[in-house]
């Protein structure tokens, strides 16, 4: 049976639509720790069965979130190896707690390193366009501002959930010069833009970027306007499965986000589609900023090969 703390975090993510894969991963790992400490398992076998059930449920939060799936595999592998060595429940609880906290720190450390590396790519007075909520992108822009580079930011609203408004408020609170624009105005403002900076929910082996719906359009518009496009993504967002030919699942969300809530109660005589993410071709990405440095999309395969041994059994 799935633990109530796991059920709660899944509901929280779906109802509140937590912003960014890193934030969702932290929430999932915290719930996994809490559930393990409250376990009633009396043997390592029961503990593993409960853990596997909780992990499977957490995987459903956001199918396209690679840091989430990588983190859960990372923790599960540590616990499984300890159980194979004959560890009892108390020890398994400790290992799960330590392993999940280690992954949390890896993610936080990666964001800090990406901020330092990414800020070097921003020149004084650069005008930067961004889309959707990304912890790494926000960290880069804040770091550049702290370095007195005075970046000016165009933030798309990012419909239909409008997380761009949260980005605009967060950056403006730091004293950064921010202009909020509607998504369909991207081609209008791209001529005033020096760089496009986006986050990533996932990075495929071929260097393609999975990010909030609309990203592929912005990147394409930027390339036609000869504006460089940078993606900020930790190596924990690189998908090992894509090396084996698997496709990253694109989540579809409730149509109610597209329609006014009052209208959704009426009978509809048409279909509504609400894909949460899209895939940006590696040809439309100039560079990927990771915690290990800046790489071209074509180099993603090297990181994915390394990740395969860690996150895929």
Q: What is the pLDDT along the chain (313 residues), one digit of tens a residue?
A: 676 777 776 666 665 555 677 888 988 899 899 999 989 899 999 999 999 999 988 887 777 788 888 999 999 999 999 999 999 999 999 999 999 999 999 999 999 999 999 999 999 999 999 999 999 999 999 999 999 999 999 999 999 989 999 999 999 999 999 999 999 999 999 999 999 999 999 999 999 999 999 999 999 999 999 999 999 999 999 988 776 555 677 888 888 888 876 555 667 788 999 998 999 999 999 999 999 999 999 999 999 888 766 665 5
Residues 6+ apart with CB under 8 A from 169: none
For the chain, the 3-state helix, strand and coil shares in percent, each to the nearest 5, are: 55, 15, 30
Both 150 and 251 in a single domain? yes
CB of 9 closer than 8 Å to CB of 28: yes
Last residue in a domain, options 59, 92, 111: 111
Both 16 and 53 in a single domain? yes
Both 140 and 238 in a single domain? yes
Cis peptide before 124, with omega less than 30 degrees from 0? no
Last residue in a domain, options 59, 90, 111: 111
Q: Which of 120, 146, 133 is nearest to 18 (CA)?
A: 133
Tokens 């650069």 sit on residue: 126
What one-character DSSP code corresponds to residue 294?
A: E
Both 60 and 105 in a single domain? yes
Length of the chain: 313
User: How far is the CA of 143 from the CAs of 21, 115, 125, 257, 280, in angstroms?
Assistant: 21, 6, 14, 33, 26
Tokens 């518009």 sit on residue: 221
Enclosing domain of residue 12: 4-111
Both 104 and 127 in a single domain? no
Q: Which of 164, 292, 158 is nearest to 215 (CA)?
A: 158
Total-model pTM:
0.88
Both 69 and 181 in a single domain? no
Count of structural domains within the chain: 2
């Amino acid at each position: 049976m799935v633990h109530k703390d796991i059920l709660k975090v899944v509901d929280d993510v779906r109802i509140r639509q937590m912003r960014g894969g890193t934030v969702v991963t932290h929430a999932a790992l915290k719930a996994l720790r809490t559930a393990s400490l409250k376990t009633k398992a009396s043997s390592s076998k029961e503990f593993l069965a409960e853990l596997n059930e909780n992990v499977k449920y957490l995987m459903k939060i956001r199918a396209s979130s690679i840091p989430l799936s990588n983190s859960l595999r990372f923790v599960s592998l540590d616990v499984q190896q300890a159980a194979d060595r004959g560890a009892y429940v108390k020890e398994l609880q400790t290992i799960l707690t330590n392993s999940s906290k280690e992954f949390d720190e890896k993610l936080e450390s990666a964001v800090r390193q990406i901020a330092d590396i990414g800020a070097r790519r921003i020149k004084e007075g650069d005008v930067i366009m961004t889309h959707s909520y990304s912890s790494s992108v926000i960290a880069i822009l804040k770091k550049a501002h702290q370095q007195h580079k005075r970046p000016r930011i165009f933030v798309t609203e990012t419909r239909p959930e409008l997380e761009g408004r949260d980005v605009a408020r967060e950056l403006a609170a730091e004293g950064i010069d921010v202009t909020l624009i509607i998504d369909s105005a991207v081609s209008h403002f791209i001529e005033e833009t020096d760089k496009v900076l986006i986050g990533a929910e996932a990075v495929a082996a071929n260097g393609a970027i999975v990010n909030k719906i609309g990203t592929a359009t912005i990147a394409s518009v930027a390339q036609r306007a000869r504006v460089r496009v940078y993606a900020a993504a930790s190596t924990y967002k690189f998908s090992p499965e894509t090396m084996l030919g698997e496709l990253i699942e694109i989540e579809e969300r409730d149509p109610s986000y597209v329609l006014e809530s009052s209208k959704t109660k009426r009978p509809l005589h048409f279909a509504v589609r609400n894909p949460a993410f899209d895939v940006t071709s590696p040809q439309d990405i100039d560079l990927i900023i990771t915690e290990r440095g800046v790489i071209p999309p074509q180099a993603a395969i090297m990181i994915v090969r390394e990740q395969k041994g860690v996150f895929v059994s």
